[in-house]
Amino acid sequence: MSNLTEYERRRDLLREKYVCEDGEAAVSTGGVDHLALICSDMEATVRFYTEVLNMRLAKVITNRDDPTSTHVFLDMGGGNMLAFFDFPEHGPAPTVRGVGSMHHVALKADKAKYRAIVQTLKSREISHSIHGTEEEGAVYLRDPDNIMVEITTGY
């Protein structure tokens, strides 16, 4: 293993230069409207996010860029949506993790919803790992396309 001191020094420099505990950002947004991901099987994806994570399917439309592609919006709560596209004419080839790709989606949950999701994962025998406890913490799992999803209580 390499000497981690240099990596921690780089982190410290980023903190010193960019972390601002107070004040407003010069440019800010109203938050996330939606994250748009790609799935290979729309039915499996919608079933997973509605039945396992208890999201509400809010909208189903045609992708503006490709009329063979479906675009769905799942309500994550807080006015935020998680969207998926399928591209049935392009095949199921997965992407490879790398620079510019997404590592995982982290979703906030209160303790009651967190516990309910953990129980759903256990009852359906869905592979997951818990960091913290079954009462609070973070649970990690994979969706039908192997996208890592974290549900956290922000412990």
Residues 6+ apart with CB under 8 A from 24: none
Q: What's the number of CA atoms in the CB half-sphere (13 Å) around residue 101?
A: 11
Judged against a pLDDT cut of 70, whether residue 24 lies above it is answered with no
Q: How far apart are CA 82 and CA 25, in angstroms?
A: 25
Domains of the chain from N-terminus onward: 32-89 (3.10.180.10), 103-155 (3.10.180.10)
**pLDDT at residue 27, rounded to an integer:** 62
**pLDDT at residue 101, rounded to an integer:** 80
Percentage of the residues of the chain whose pLDDT score is greater than 90: 68
Provide Rg for the chain, Cα atoms.
Answer: 18
